[in-house]
C-alpha cells in the first residue's frame, strides 16, 4: 500500500499525463530568472515553476515555502489545452460563487441552500487538511505548471476535485426524487463534470494523482456521512431565534483559528470567504423565515415534477434575474469591503491601501468575513425582494 501511495504521488505520473495530452516544457534557454516577465512576442506561454527545479517526489513528504519562477511551455494539442483550462475554471471558487446564486434565483432556493451547505463543509475540511498535512504539489521539472495563484498552497487533497464532486453529486441526489429527468443522464453529467475538473488538475500540473483521488474519496465519505442529516440541516434556519448567533460565531472562530503556516498563502483568505458566504446564506434564510420577507423556499415534496421547456421568455427572465442579482451583490460587496477595511485600518492605525496589511490575521479575517456574510445575506434576502419589486418573480 505504501508503494502504491508513493507511485500515485510521483510527479512523473503527472508529467506523463501532460505529455500524452500534448503539453511539453520548452527547451531550456538559459538560467531562469526569478519573477522574470514573459518577453514580448515570445512564442510560448508562461507558467509558474516549482520549488527550485527539484527532483520528482518519490515519497510522501512535506514541502517548504515554494519558489515561483517563470517557465515556458509548448502546446502541441490545443483541444486538450482549452478543454482542461476551461475545466479548471469550472473548479474555481469564482464559478461556484456565480453558479450557486444562479441556482437560488432561477431554479430552487431549497436546492441552492443544500448545495451551499455541502460546498462549505467539504471546502473547509479540504482547506484545513492542506495546511495540516503540508504535502507538496507536483515538482517542476518534470511537471509543467500552468497556474500561479495557488502555488503558495499545499496540495493534499485537491479541493477542486472535492468541490466538483460535492456539487455535481449533491445536485444529482437532491433533484432525482423531485424533478423528472433520466437518472442515467443526470449521473453521466455529474460524472463528466467532476471528471473533467479532476483531470484538469493533473493537466495544469497543480496536483498529483493521489491528491485528486483523495479529494474524491474524502467527498464521497462526507456525503455518505451527512446524507442522513440533510433534511435536519434544511430545517435549522427555523429552529431558534438565536440560530443566527451560532451561524456567525462558529464560522468566525473557525476562520480566526485557522491552522497557521510558515509563510503566507491565500488558503486562509479563501476559507474565510467560503465560510462567510455560507454563514450569510444561512442567516438570509433565517431572516426570510422569521420576518416573512420573501416567499418560503420550495421544499422537497413527495412527487415528481416535470422540468419546463426552455423558452426564449424563460431564458430572458432568468438572465434578467441573474443580472440584477449579480449587480446588487457586487455593489454590496464593494461597499462593505471598503467600509470594513477603512474601519479596521483606522482601528489598527494602518496606512490606507496598504496591501500587505490586508494579510494580517486581525484585518484579513474580519474584513473578508463581514464582506462575504453581507454578500450571502444580500443574495438570499434582498435580491429576491428586488426581483419581486421589479416584477421578475
The span from the CA of 57 to the CA of 303, in Å, is: 52
Give the burial class of 321: count Cβ atoms within 10 A of its Cβ; 0-12 exposed, 13-18 middle, 19 or more buried.
Answer: buried
C-alpha cell at 124: 473547509
Find the catalytic residue in 44, 49, 104, 160: 160
* Cell numbers describing residue 21: 495530452
Q: Count other Cβ atoms within 10 Å, centred on residue 199.
A: 19
User: Is the distance from CB of 205 to CB of 17 less than 8 angstroms?
Assistant: no
| 371 three-state secondary structure | helix
Whole-number Å distance between alpha carbons of 198 and 151: 17
- Provide the terminal-to-terminal Cα distance of the chain, rounded to the nearest Å: 56
Q: HSE on the CB side for 28, CA within 13 Å?
A: 9
| Rounded Cα–Cα distance for residues 262 and 37 (Å) | 27
Burial 226-242 (b: 16+ CB within 10 A, else e): beeebeeebebbeeeee
Q: Is 207 a catalytic residue?
A: yes
**Which residues is 179 bridged to in the sheet?**
305
Residue 25 φ then ψ, to 5°: -70, 145
Burial profile 359-389: b = 16 or more Cβ within 10 angstroms, e = fewer: eeeebbbbbbbbbbbbbbbbbbbbbbebbee
Q: Is 387 a catalytic residue?
A: no
The sheet carrying 23-25 orders its strands as 23-25, 69-75, 45-49
For residues 370 and 385, give the distance between their C-alpha atoms in angstroms, rounded to a whole number: 21
Per annotation, catalytic residue among 49, 207, 289, 387: 207
Catalytic residues: 160, 207
Amino acid at each position: 500500500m505504501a508503494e502504491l501511495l508513493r507511485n500515485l504521488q510521483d510527479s512523473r505520473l503527472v508529467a506523463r499525463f501532460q505529455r500524452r495530452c500534448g503539453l511539453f516544457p520548452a527547451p531550456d534557454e538559459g538560467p531562469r530568472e526569478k519573477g522574470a516577465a514573459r518577453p514580448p512576442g515570445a512564442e510560448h506561454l508562461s507558467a509558474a515553476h516549482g520549488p527550485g527545479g527539484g527532483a520528482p517526489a518519490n515519497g510522501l513528504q512535506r514541502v517548504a515555502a515554494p519558489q515561483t519562477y517563470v517557465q515556458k511551455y509548448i502546446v502541441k494539442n490545443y483541444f486538450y489545452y482549452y478543454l482542461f483550462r476551461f475545466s479548471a475554471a469550472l473548479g474555481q471558487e469564482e464559478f461556484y460563487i456565480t453558479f450557486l446564486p444562479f441556482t437560488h434565483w432561477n431554479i430552487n432556493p431549497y436546492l441552492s441552500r443544500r448545495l451551499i451547505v455541502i460546498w462549505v463543509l467539504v471546502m473547509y475540511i479540504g482547506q484545513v487538511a492542506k495546511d495540516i498535512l503540508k504535502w507538496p504539489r507536483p515538482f517542476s521539472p518534470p511537471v509543467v505548471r500552468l497556474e500561479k495563484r495557488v502555488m503558495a498552497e499545499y496540495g493534499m487533497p485537491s479541493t477542486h476535485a472535492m468541490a466538483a464532486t460535492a456539487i455535481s453529486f449533491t445536485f444529482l441526489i437532491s433533484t432525482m426524487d423531485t424533478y423528472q429527468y433520466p437518472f442515467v443522464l443526470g449521473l453521466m453529467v455529474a460524472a463528466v463534470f467532476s471528471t473533467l475538473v479532476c483531470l484538469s488538475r493533473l493537466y495544469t500540473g497543480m496536483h498529483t494523482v493521489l491528491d485528486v483521488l483523495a479529494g474524491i474519496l474524502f467527498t464521497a465519505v462526507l456525503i455518505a456521512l451527512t446524507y442522513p442529516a440533510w433534511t435536519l440541516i434544511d430545517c435549522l434556519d427555523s429552529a431558534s431565534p438565536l440560530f443566527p448567533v451560532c451561524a456567525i460565531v462558529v464560522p468566525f472562530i473557525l476562520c480566526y483559528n485557522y491552522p497557521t503556516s510558515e509563510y503566507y498563502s491565500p488558503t486562509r483568505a479563501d476559507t474565510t470567504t467560503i465560510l462567510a458566504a455560507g454563514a450569510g446564506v444561512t442567516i438570509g434564510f433565517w431572516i426570510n423565515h422569521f420576518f416573512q420577507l420573501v416567499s418560503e423556499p420550495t421544499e422537497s415534496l413527495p412527487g415528481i415534477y416535470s422540468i419546463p421547456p426552455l423558452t426564449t421568455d424563460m431564458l430572458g427572465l432568468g438572465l434578467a434575474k441573474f443580472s440584477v442579482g449579480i449587480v446588487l451583490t457586487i455593489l454590496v460587496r464593494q461597499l462593505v469591503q471598503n467600509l470594513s477595511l477603512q474601519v479596521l485600518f483606522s482601528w489598527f492605525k494602518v496606512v490606507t491601501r496598504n496591501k500587505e496589511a490586508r494579510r494580517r490575521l486581525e484585518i484579513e479575517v474580519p474584513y473578508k468575513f463581514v464582506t462575504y456574510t453581507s454578500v450571502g445575506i444580500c443574495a438570499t434576502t434582498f435580491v429576491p425582494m428586488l426581483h419581486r419589486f421589479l416584477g421578475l418573480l
